[in-house]
């Protein structure tokens, strides 16, 4: 990963039903601002683009809709009505074997004490950091700017409080 992989800033807004016990909002929209483009990520609990659940990435040429049943790339049309990219759709698991093969690989790695996972930890960490940036922006109601070198947010102590929360009852994070 290089520093340019991270967005310049992230802002997220959401609605959470106050009567729900869920920590996750019912619907959320997050803007990832990059130098030459931005990504709008939208998530909601039900009926997103006529699907029960899923996520949507809205881009300048197309919208990508994903859930556990597959994905669909919906092209944007220009002023002349011409689609800016090709429509694509996959119904079914994203990969041969889907979650079953993924879980099997994970179990085999544990059993064999191997780090050769189908999904490297660096890839998962990067995706997780992006998701946390959106959620921390929502929780703090601020635009966040993350510095991957220091692993902290820039000029945002409220957001930094979510990076490493205070521990209780004398517990300390173990050193490596």
Q: Measured at the alpha carbon of residue 17, what is the angle toward residues 12 and 19, in degrees to the nearest 5? A: 145
- Hey, what long-range contacts does 63-72 have (CB within 8 A, 24 or more apart)? 70/94
- How is residue 92 written in tokens? 């079914």
- Cα separation of 43 and 41, whole Å? 7
pLDDT tens, position by position, 110-157: 999 998 888 788 888 888 999 999 999 999 999 999 999 999 999 999
- Cα separation of 5 and 157, whole Å? 23
pLDDT score at 96: 56
Assign 3-class secondary structure to 91-104. ECCCCCCHHHHHHH
Backbone angles phi, psi at 79, to 5 degrees: -60, -25
**pLDDT means over runs of 10, the chain (176 residues):** 75 90 85 91 74 78 84 93 90 63 88 87 86 95 95 95 85 78
Please give the model's pTM, rounded to 2 decimal places: 0.70
144 secondary structure, DSSP code: B
| Domain coordinates in residue numbering, the chain | 3-93+134-163
Secondary structure (3-state) at 74: strand
What's the burial of 137, exposed, middle or buried (CB within 10 Å: 0-12/13-18/19+)?
buried
């Amino acid at each position: 990963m290089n520093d340019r992989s991270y967005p310049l800033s992230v802002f997220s807004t959401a609605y959470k039903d106050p009567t729900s016990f869920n920590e996750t909002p019912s619907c959320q929209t997050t803007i990832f601002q990059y130098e030459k483009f931005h990504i709008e990520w939208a998530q909601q609990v039900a009926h997103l683009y006529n699907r029960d659940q899923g996520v949507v990435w809205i881009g300048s040429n197309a919208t990508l809709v994903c859930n556990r049943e597959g994905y669909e790339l919906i092209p944007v049309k220009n002023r002349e009505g011409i689609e800016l990219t090709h429509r694509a759709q996959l119904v079914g698991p994203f990969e041969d074997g889907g979650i079953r093969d993924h879980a099997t690989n994970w179990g085999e790695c544990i059993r064999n004490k191997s780090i050769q996972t189908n999904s490297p930890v660096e890839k998962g960490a990067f995706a997780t950091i992006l998701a946390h940036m959106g959620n921390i922006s929502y929780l703090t109601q601020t635009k966040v700017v993350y510095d991957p070198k220091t692993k902290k947010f820039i000029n945002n102590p409220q957001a930094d409080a979510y990076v490493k929360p205070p521990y209780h009852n004398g517990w300390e994070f173990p050193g490596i």
